[in-house]
Amino acid sequence: MVSTAAVKRALSALASRTDTATRPSVAVIDEAEAARGDLRRAAAFVDADGLDRLDDAIGAAERAGDEADAERGREARAAFRRFREAAAGSDERIVDGWSDENDESDERRR
Q: 3-state secondary structure string, 79-106?
A: HHHHHHHHHHCCCCCCECCECHHHCCHH
pLDDT at 109: 36
Distance CA 99, CA 110 (A): 18
In the chain, pLDDT over 70 holds for what percent of residues? 74
Question: How high is the pLDDT of residue 92?
Answer: 52
With 70 as the cut, is the pLDDT of residue 73 above it?
yes
What would the pLDDT profile of 18-54 be if each residue is shown by its tens digit?
Answer: 556 678 889 999 999 999 988 888 888 988 888 999 9
pLDDT of residue 93: 52
